[in-house]
Structure formats: C-alpha cells, structure tokens
Amino acid sequence: MRKRKLAIILVRSFISMFIFSLIFISFVDFSTEETMRNLFQDIYVYSDNDIKEGTIENLDIIAVSLIEKNEEIKKFGEICRDKKAMDELKKNCENYYELRASGRMPARESLQESCRQVLAGDIEKRCREISELPEINITLLDELYEKHNRGEISDSMYFTEFVFSATGNIPEMQELEFDVKKYIIPVSIILVLLLALLFMLHKESFSRLLFSIGKILFNLGMLITIISMVLYIYTEYTPPDTSPMLKSFSDNTMPSAIQNSVHILVPLVLANLFSIKIMTIGLIMLISGIILKVLFGKRAATNI
C-alpha cells in the first residue's frame, strides 16, 4: 500500500512537471530576439523620466548625424571594398605629382588635397574606421526617425527598434536560438503515458483518479498563479529602477551595465515569460483543481 502511494505521488509529480513544461513550450516565445526586444523595452520603461528624455534626444542627434553622413559612408564604402580602384587612385595621384613636377600639369588645389589624403593613407584610415562601425540600416533608421517625429510610435518602441534593429548594437544571436516547439510531441507522448500509468494506479476507483488529477491541477495552478502575481506586483507596484542601464546607452557602456544588473533583469525576463496568457491558464487550472477536489474528495476518501 505504501509503495503504491509513493508511486502515485511520484507519477503525479512527473505529470505536473511535464504539464508545466508543455504549457511553456506551447505558449511562451523562447525567441532570443523577442526576449531581448522585451528586455530593452523594459529597460526604457522602468527608467527615470529625465534620463528617458535625454536618451531620446541623443537618439535623434545620432539618427540625424548618421542619415546625413550616409552618402559619405556609402562613397567611402565603395572605395574601400574595391582594392583595384584604390590602387588605381594611388597610381593616378603618383602620375599627377610626376606631371606637376615636370611642369606638364598645373597645380590644382582640390586634386592636390585629394591625392594628399590618398598617399598619406587618410582614406585607408577612414576605411578602417568605417569597417569598425556597426552595420547600420539607414533606411530603417530614417523610417524610425520619421515615424517617431510623427508620433506614430512610442518613445520606448523608438528606443528598442533603434538599438536592436537600426544600429545593430545587439550582436548576432542565431547560435542562441533553439526551437523548443519540436519537443511538444515527445513531451505530450510522455504525458499521455504518465496519465495512463496514473489511471492504472487508480483503476479500482475513478473518483480517486479524478481527485489525483484535481490535486495536480490545483498545485500547478497555484504555483503558476503565485509566480505570475508576484512578478506582476513587482513590476507594477514596486518597479525596478533601470535608469543606470538606460544612461549607460549614451555612455556606450551598456553591456557592462547590463552584466552588473542581472538581479534586476532576471525578474523582468520572467515577467515577460509569465504573461497574462500563462496567468490565465494558471487560474483555470487552479479553479479546475478546486472543483475536482471538492467534487471527488469525499468519494475518494471513502474508496481508500
């Protein structure tokens, strides 16, 4: 009898674990990109208003500057990518100096300055600077800037999209992506087998089976609801201060600031994972568990 009770407890625990896993696999977006977007939006939302205002002003300045310099970057980019053109440019400048020295060509100030930059290595230096710049989607940046000026997107969305999409400050994270959806079928199969095993352990009493299922739903629902409520209260009524992280964006020290604020960011990530949808599922499970326990509790007790 004790072994059977222990087996029932173990099976219920495993069922709870796999239901919990199935819920998150099915309803939570584990995309690294989406998680980072939500995180950066939270960093903006939970910051001081003055820092928010200063950050948006900085973004506007950066956007205007980059858009204005786009043509120059494109011009230099073409030269930098074409080594043959660069070599020809150097050769033409050397020919120019030879012709000028022999008196066969008059001095031209603009041409002389251009050749000075070429032969002194200024253009190659500029090429190196451009190669070290993050990849910039000027079209998207211009579009974001215009949309924000027209009031079509919020400040938080402007900040998030600017940092994440336009300037490419977030490194490629494809290697971090993993497809959890492929585990839905295996987890579901294991869950069905565990439920079948639970049924076998309660085959003499259908009431006890439903009571056990009620316990599983109640415990899981309570766990999900409590976690969701705690995270909701934390973010809504005792919001974290992410001002240092937002300020670090302007100081170009955001990566280190994020590393030093893991204790703030982890609850924010969890709050995004435990969405309203998950909380609703938890409440439904909790209510269902209570109903099953109330309806079949007494019957299960009489069938022990």
Domain boundaries, the chain: 1-30+179-304, 48-177
**Secondary structure, 3-state, 124-177:** HHHHHHHHHCCCCCHHHHHHHHHHHHCCCCCHHHHHHHHHHHHCCCCCCCHHHC
Record the tokens describing residue 93, joined without a space: 């400048």
Check residue 174 and give its pLDDT.
45
Asked if residue 131 has pLDDT above 50, the reply is yes
Residue for token pair 């973004």: 59
Check residue 225 and give its pLDDT.
92
- At 215, give phi and psi (nearest 5°): -60, -45
Q: Are 188 and 22 in contact (CB under 8 A)?
A: yes
Note the pLDDT tens digit of each residue in 224-270: 999 988 888 888 888 888 888 888 877 766 667 777 777 888 888 88
Record the tokens describing residue 79, joined without a space: 């030269």
Q: What is the CA radius of gyration of the chain?
A: 31
Mean pLDDT value across the chain? 78
Distance CA 133, CA 60 (A): 18
Note the pLDDT tens digit of each residue in 32-63: 677 778 888 888 888 888 889 888 988 888 88
Asked if residue 104 has pLDDT above 90, the reply is no
- Amino acid at residue number 138: I
Query: Does 1 or 204 have the greater pLDDT score?
Result: 204
Asked if residue 98 has pLDDT above 80, the reply is no
- Amino acid at residue number 19: I
Distance CA 160, CA 184 (A): 31
Asked if residue 67 has pLDDT above 80, the reply is no
Note the pLDDT tens digit of each residue in 203-234: 878 888 899 999 999 999 999 999 988 888 88
- Out of 81-85, 226-230, 244-248, 277-281, pick the least confident: 81-85
Check residue 106 and give its pLDDT.
62
